């Protein structure tokens, strides 16, 4: 994150979901996070659900700042812990709609254990992961989705990243999520639709949005400005709805398979809890 | 439910205390010697339509408890040393977001995995200083099965009243021993719930305190919209880098507890009226000390005890008063000396003698008696 | 009664802790005494020698563990060797005579009572599992530290399906205890 912040003028219909008194937001010019924030507001708007019953939770990071811009009950937890916080809220009040928005580092590194266990429990919430391949907030270090040999502050040239990334779609699908999709920040319409589906779904929905962090990751890997990075995302996107999740490859330079890969029915955690309580009371 | 009597374990008394206080959410991860609390909750919560949720670790457990509290349910977690260490970052989050939660730590031998089945009092300073930054929490120290119940109820009441995490710090012996427990009639229990906002949603400032320095608390999923964050925030809840806001917030988070210290701290005075030598103790060592005081009195030594039922905020005033009344203070602790340093700070210039024992067996009554006699001979 | 310390030892699976809990319940809830029951945990409780203790008193119990037992009830050799230390002078030792031999020097004046609890449970009650109940009966008869009505009442509460067999075991234990009282070994 840099100090340069762009004045964002919001289109009218969505302004009612956003805390305008917090504008301008902290994102750098060309960053994808603002786009994802827009997707979420549009999804809420299309669904026409009571926004006061929607709770937005995030962890720490640039992506983690998202929760603070929504005009509803929002909570900014510690790094990696958005999912457990949201789980506690959901179990305590199953009538609420829980939205978790966080980064790749937050959800797959420090909070990775919570992600897979929440998928396994299949608790009803929608997890939107903004994957920008690095820790943007702290200035661009490698993380669990950074590709092999890519350069970051802690995997500098000439060696680059000696590790290999998680494929988050595969991770969420094999952990038990009942709805799994991946889009890039440029497929706004399709991504928004998937977020709508995720919110409607009774169970854990995981939606990865591949995005651009021009300030850190883009600069270090010479990927150009925000515009260039988004253009690139458009070029390499390969839409394959319904593909088995284990085939949903992500190769940043060549091919990012996008689409909805999992949409299955499984008993949802708070539903099962309710049924069990009814059993005990009998 | 009307009053009933059980012969039960401290851990179970704690769980029953929580349920009586209205706790309907337990998030935890099994660990000796606190597991019995989780196991009891797993049986009892469904009967009361509450939730027992077992998480993947203690970090998730406590964070989910913070979440449940913001959804309006009284919530708690229970653990021991290793789990308490993992929870510390979230304790800070609960402090900063002013979330009422109860954390039970049935203390076992440390450092590290230590002695899982043997007690100790090694986590007293951790409870106060374990998370980073300057803050106050409340910590209560039961010494009997009945107090495991009573002080758990009190822990919930204090956490709701001051919007602060409250620790119940019990050593393994208190957690695992069985004694008679009287669970009072539901109606006779005084329960406290957090203040809710009365203002219009459009005028609601989530972190604007009332005169008691505690802000009313809106819940998630209501007509009140707000942002709560672990970042330094102003009265609107918005993050800021401002020095003034940081100073004001940190000062208030501390002051809202310290200003009410007399109301929060509880001590028990035992044979202190004419005492010349006083023991200051809490938990199991206080039970040994009680016996030692009796035996010392039988030998004509004017001994007494001040038993701490609250260790945080530290009962400064009662200690200072005690120090001016007696000639010597003895502090037996099941550790290398933790509360001792606090006692010393407020007792000066009265000499304070430390008895350390970082072990599962606390100071025996005879050991404390010998110390009393030794000090008496000075 | 001023602070009466009871130590019970045996091996895991004999119901040593249960025995202590039932005695504790009976004296706390039925006899209205002040009682604290504690036990050994961890590796000790998983097989090997296991121990549980009860302090019974007419006044509030301060230190919760037994300092020097007034009575030691023991049902295994390993527990005997591990926990016999500290028994009070003129104290009471109750042994399951088929499983334990007095093989160390005892403090002055200790009275030893031999109760073939496991044999009685096996041959007369026809349920080896009730050896701890037989021992409880003998303990009550010998020490009078807990009321027999209290024990009966707590056992009925705890095991409503096994009232008959437990009462039989308890009665046989009481009889064995009374017999042993007449002729301590
Ligand atoms: C416990 C803890 N460790 C480290 C940090 C520092 N930190 C803040 S954000 C962040 C990484 C965020 O990366 P990601 O989740 O991918 O979000 P992004 O900024 O890329 O959107 C780190 C390591 C922290 N706040 N807390
Ligand atoms: S993710 Fe990168 S581009 Fe976006 S705000 Fe953070 S540092 Fe800037
Ligand atoms: Mg990132």
**Which atom belonging to ligand 1 lies closest to the Cα atom of A60?**
9
**Domain containing B309 — which CATH number?**
3.40.50.920
Parallel, antiparallel or unpaired: strands B101-109 and B138-140: unpaired
pLDDT at B151: 98
CA–CA distance from A247 to each of A179, A186, A238, A255, B187 (Å)? Answer: 16, 22, 12, 12, 61
- Domain membership of residue B363 as a residue range: 266-376
Residue from A4, A32, A132, A233 whose mutation best tests the ligand 2 pocket (most atoms within 8 A of CB): A132
| Phi, psi at B132, each rounded to 5° | -80, 160
To the nearest whole number, what is the mean pLDDT of chain A? 94
Contact assessment for residue B10 and residue B174, using Cβ atoms and an 8 Å cutoff: yes
Which residue does chain B place closest to C67, by CA atoms?
Answer: B364
CA–CA separation, C158 and C137 (whole Å): 16
B146, B163, B188: which is the final residue of a domain? B188
| Residue C43 pLDDT | 54
**Contacting residues of A for B196, CB less than 8 Å apart:** none
Nearest of B111, B113, B189, B202 to residue B152 by alpha carbon:
B189
**Strands of the sheet with B352-355, listed across from one edge:** B267-270, B303-308, B277-281, B328-332, B352-355
Closest CA to B29 of A262, C146, A114, A154: A114
Strand order across the C49-57 sheet: B4-9, B178-183, C34-39, C49-57, C4-11, C71-74, C92-96, C111-115
Evaluate whether residue B249 is within a structural domain.
no
Average pLDDT over residues B4-21: 98
Could you tell me the domains of chain C? 3-182 (3.40.920.10)
User: Which of B140, B169, B188 is a domain's end point?
Assistant: B188
Cα separation, B287 vs B307, whole angstroms: 9
- Provide Rg for chain A, Cα atoms: 18
Question: Of B147, B164, B188, which one is at a domain's C-terminal end?
Answer: B188
Residue B25 tokens read as: 């959410």
| Cα-Cα-Cα-Cα dihedral sign, residues C71, C76, C78, C81 | positive
Decide: C40 and B194 in contact? Cβ < 8 Å: no
pTM of this prediction exceeds 0.90: yes
**What pLDDT, in 10s, does the model give residues C94-130?**
999 999 999 999 999 999 999 999 999 999 999 999 9
Q: Does B27 touch chain A (CB under 8 A)?
A: yes
Domain ranges across chain A: 19-281
Q: Where are the alpha helices (DSSP H) in chain B?
A: 10-20, 35-47, 58-70, 81-96, 124-129, 145-162, 172-176, 243-258, 261-264, 284-298, 316-325, 339-347, 365-376
Cα A230 to averaged position of ligand 2 atoms, centre (Å): 14
Q: What is the CATH number of the domain that holds B64?
A: 3.40.50.970
Is B300 found in the same domain as B161?
Answer: no
The pLDDT tens digits of the residues spanning A70-91 come to: 999 999 999 999 999 999 999 9
Q: Provide the mean pLDDT of chain B.
A: 97
Q: What is the bridge-based pairing of β-strands C4-11 and C71-74?
A: parallel
> Is residue B228 a part of any domain in this protein?
no
CB pair distance less than 8 Å for A88 and B68: yes
Residue C39 forms contact with B (CB below 8 Å): yes
Residue B344 in any domain: the answer is yes
B325-361 residue pLDDT tens: 999 999 999 999 999 999 999 999 999 999 999 999 9
pLDDT over 80 (residue B127): yes
Q: Count CB atoms within 10 A of the CB of residue A100.
A: 31
Contacting residues of C for B180, CB less than 8 Å apart: 28-29, 34-35
Q: Is residue B235 part of a domain?
A: no
Q: What is the spatial distance between Cα A47 and Cα A200, in angstroms, rounded to a whole number?
A: 8
Chain C hits for B32, CB-CB cut-off 8 Å, are 41-42
Residue of minimum CA distance from atom 2 in ligand 1: A79
A101 CA to middle of ligand 2, Å?
A: 15
Let me know: does B141 contact B310? Beta carbons within 8 Å.
Answer: yes
Q: Are residues B37 and B152 in the same domain?
A: yes
Residues B21, B129 within the same domain: yes
Residue at B363 is within a domain = yes
| Residues, CB-to-ion distance under 5 Å, ligand 3 | A 103-105, 132, 136
Mutate to test the pocket of ligand 1, among A106, A208, A211 (most ligand atoms within 8 A of CB): A106
Q: Which two tokens stand for residue A268?
A: 């949802």
- Specify whether domain A19-281 bears CATH 3.40.50.970: yes
**In terms of domains, do B31 and B136 share one?**
yes
The whole-angstrom distance between C35's CA and the closest CA on chain B is: 6
Residue with tokens 């949201």: A86
User: Which tens digit of pLDDT belongs to each residue from B36-77?
Assistant: 999 999 999 999 999 999 999 999 999 999 999 999 999 999
Give chain B positions within 8 Å (CB) of A67.
227
Cβ-defined contact of B68 to A117 (cutoff 8 Å): no
Q: What is the pLDDT of residues B180-227, one digit of tens each?
A: 999 999 899 999 999 999 999 999 999 999 999 999 999 999 999 999
| Total domain count, chain B | 2
Integer Cα distance of B172 and A191 in angstroms:
53
Assigned token pair, A29: 């010019």
Q: What count of CB pairs under 8 Å joins A to B? A: 137
Nearest to B209, CA basis, from B173, B177, B235: B235
- Checking if the pLDDT of A3 tops 90, the result is no
Among B89-98, B196-205, C16-25, C33-42, the least confident range: C33-42
Q: Between chain A and chain B, are at least 3 CB pairs below 8 A?
A: yes
| Whether complex ipTM tops 0.90 | yes
Alpha-carbon distance of A260 to A246, in angstroms, equals: 12
Establish, for the pair of chains B and C, how many residue pairs have beta carbons separated by less than 8 Å.
62
| B74 lies in some domain | yes
Backbone angles phi, psi at A256, to 5 degrees: -115, 105
Whether C68 and C48 have beta carbons less than 8 Å apart is answered as: no
Q: What is the rounded CA–CA span in Å between residue C74 and residue C42?
A: 20
DSSP C180: H
- Whether B258 is covered by a domain: the verdict is no
A205 CA to centre of own chain: 10
Distance A195 CA to ligand 3 centre (A): 19
C68 touches chain B (CB under 8 A): no
């Amino acid at each position: 994150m840099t100090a340069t912040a762009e004045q964002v003028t919001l289109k009218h219909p969505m302004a009612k979901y956003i805390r305008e008194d917090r504008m301008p937001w902290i994102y750098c010019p060309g960053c994808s996070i603002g786009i994802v924030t827009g997707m979420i507001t549009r999804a809420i708007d299309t669904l026409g659900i009571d926004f006061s019953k929607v709770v937005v939770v995030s962890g720490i990071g640039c992506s983690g700042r998202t929760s603070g811009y929504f005009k509803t009950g929002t909570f900014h937890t510690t790094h990696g812990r958005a999912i457990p916080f949201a789980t506690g809220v959901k179990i305590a009040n199953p009538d609420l709609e829980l939205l978790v928005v966080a980064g790749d580092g937050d959800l797959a590194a420090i909070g990775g254990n919570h992600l897979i266990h929440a998928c396994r429990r299949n608790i009803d919430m929608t997890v939107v992961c903004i994957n920008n391949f690095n820790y943007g907030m702290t200035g661009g270090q490698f993380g669990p989705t950074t590709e092999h040999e890519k350069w970051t502050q802690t995997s500098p040239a000439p060696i680059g990243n000696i590790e290999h990334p998680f494929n988050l779609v595969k991770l969420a699908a094999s952990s038990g999520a009942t709805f799994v999709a991946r889009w890039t920040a440029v497929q706004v319409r399709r991504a928004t639709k998937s977020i709508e589906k995720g919110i409607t779904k009774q169970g854990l929905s995981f939606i990865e949005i591949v995005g651009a962090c021009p300030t850190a990751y883009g600069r270090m890997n010479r990927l150009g400005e925000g515009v260039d990075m988004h253009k690139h995302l458009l070029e390499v996107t390969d839409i394959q709805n319904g593909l088995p999740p284990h085939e949903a490859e992500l190769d940043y330079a060549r091919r990012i398979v996008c689409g909805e890969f999992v949409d299955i029915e499984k008993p949802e955690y708070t539903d099962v809890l309710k049924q069990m309580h009814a059993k005990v009371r009998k | 439910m009307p009053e009933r009597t059980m012969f039960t374990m401290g851990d179970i008394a704690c769980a029953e205390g929580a349920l009586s206080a209205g706790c309907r959410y337990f998030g935890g991860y099994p660990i000796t010697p606190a597991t019995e609390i989780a196991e009891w909750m797993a049986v009892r919560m469904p009967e009361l339509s509450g939730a027992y949720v077992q998480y993947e670790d203690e970090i998730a457990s406590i964070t989910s408890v913070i979440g449940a509290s913001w959804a309006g349910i009284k919530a708690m977690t229970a653990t021991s040393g290793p789990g308490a260490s993992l929870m510390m970052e979230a304790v800070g989050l609960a402090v900063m977001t002013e979330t009422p939660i109860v954390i039970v730590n049935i203390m076992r031998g440390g450092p590290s995995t230590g002695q899982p089945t043997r007690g100790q009092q090694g986590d007293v300073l951790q409870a106060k200083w374990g998370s980073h930054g300057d803050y106050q929490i409340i910590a209560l120290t039961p010494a009997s099965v009945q107090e495991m119940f009573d002080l758990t109820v009190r822990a919930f009441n204090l956490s709701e009243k001051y919007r602060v995490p409250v620790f119940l710090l019990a050593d393994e012996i208190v957690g695992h021993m069985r004694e008679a427990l009287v669970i009072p009639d539901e109606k006779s229990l005084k329960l406290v719930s957090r203040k809710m906002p009365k203002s219009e949603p459009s005028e609601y400032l989530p972190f604007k305190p009332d005169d008691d320095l505690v802000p009313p608390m809106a819940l998630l999923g209501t007509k009140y919209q707000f942002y709560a964050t672990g970042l330094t925030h102003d009265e609107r809840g918005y993050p800021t880098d401002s020095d003034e806001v940081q100073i004001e917030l940190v000062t208030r988070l501390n002051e809202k507890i310290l200003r009410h210290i007399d109301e929060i701290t509880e001590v028990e005075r035992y044979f202190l009226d004419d005492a010349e030598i006083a023991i200051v103790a809490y938990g199991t060592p206080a039970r040994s000390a009680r016996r030692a005081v009796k035996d010392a009195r039988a030998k004509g030594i004017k001994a007494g005890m001040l038993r701490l039922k609250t260790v945080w905020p530290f009962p400064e005033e009662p200690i200072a008063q005690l120090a001016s009344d007696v000639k010597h203070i003895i502090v037996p602790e099941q550790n290398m000396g933790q509360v001792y340093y606090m006692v010393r700070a407020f007792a000066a210039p009265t000499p304070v003698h430390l008895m350390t024992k970082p072990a599962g067996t606390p100071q025996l009554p005879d050991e404390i008696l010998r110390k009393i006699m030794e000090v008496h001979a000075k | 009664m001023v602070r009466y310390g009871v130590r019970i030892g045996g091996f895991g699976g004999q119901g040593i802790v249960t025995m202590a809990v039932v005695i504790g319940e009976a004296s706390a809830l039925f006899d209205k005494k002040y009682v604290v029951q504690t036990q050994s945990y961890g590796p000790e409780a998983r097989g090997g020698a296991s121990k549980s203790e009860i302090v019974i008193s007419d006044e509030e119990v301060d230190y919760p563990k037994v300092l020097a037992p007034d009575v030691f009830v023991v049902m295994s050799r390993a527990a005997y060797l591990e926990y016999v230390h500290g028994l009070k002078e003129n104290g009471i030792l109750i042994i399951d005579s088929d499983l334990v031999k007095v093989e160390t020097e005892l403090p002055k004046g200790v009275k030893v009572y031999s109760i073939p609890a496991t044999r009685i449970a096996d041959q007369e009650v026809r349920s080896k599992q009730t050896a701890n109940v037989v021992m409880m009966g003998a303990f009550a008869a010998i020490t009078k530290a807990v009321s027999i009505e209290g024990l009966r009442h707590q056992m009925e509460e705890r095991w409503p399906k096994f009232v008959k067999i437990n009462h039989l075991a308890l009665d046989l234990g009481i009889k064995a205890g009374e017999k042993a009282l007449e002729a301590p070994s």
